[in-house]
Chains A and B, each alone.
Chain A
């Protein structure tokens, strides 16, 4: 018997590959209607986009934290880029760090490192401001105890 193919409709699906040990961390969080795992910040599926993006995939990737909590990179970056986040994971309140040795994180490492440096500098500036009599006239600048405290910190 000969079969003649007239047309082929290819259908495919994709999903982010999340390393096994990082998958169950979200078991308690709310699933969206499709039962997919969702980003703890925007509540959209990992395979969908963050609220700021239109196209899923490489344009709106995931990152995996050292604490095994995963987020859209845009969501967690926006959070970590606030002073009030104090660099902490929204789910578990540990310092959020990208898990090492994962392909999914590799392209983001420098970006997150820059953010950490930026915040460190901001803190340094605040630190410097305290010593500046013009910006903080109420502080007693000659207080030796204060100076000691600053050095210890």
Chain B
């Protein structure tokens, strides 16, 4: 199967700073690729390369086997890459529906088609397991998990077939984290979306990941499917550093 998105030897330099060095990994549709790494591992830079904010300094990014070169976030979005950032890009004082359609409103003539937008919002949220009772309420009234779901549902509705989730569980309480994990599972079950799940929570990665990529100090330490990676070593892999040598021998021995 051709990967939905593939990084081949991608590097990114900012002046004399090496943010990412020789990154390679693959993401397939209908699968969750967990991208693990500690703070400062280069996750943010990677997201920015994926979402068209930055262009790689070296190497290439392939979209369904075709090399691409996003010059702007807009290009990445129209190529079907949807990024759900940690801050979710939501407006707390605006309604659920208005948030869902912000920037891409459905109009009837000059005016907003609120009934249609309300219906779609309810339907799309229900697909991911959230029942929105009243989509005209401000999203300030929703839980953190529900907001995350809203941001994900929005990205999918507007054509994302590669969904990048930037630490979707990190800012939430336990119960809401589970809610979000359930949402991500539902997205996977839709079948045609490739999910890049960025996290530093090895438990969450283990629960959901079909493939894993470990990022440490700008480099991919290991990459592979569930079978190829020793699940018990997720945590040390993430920590990198001192464990590095030990793991290298382990993987070269497979």
Pairing of A with B: no
**Chain A residues within 8 Å of B, Cβ to Cβ:** none
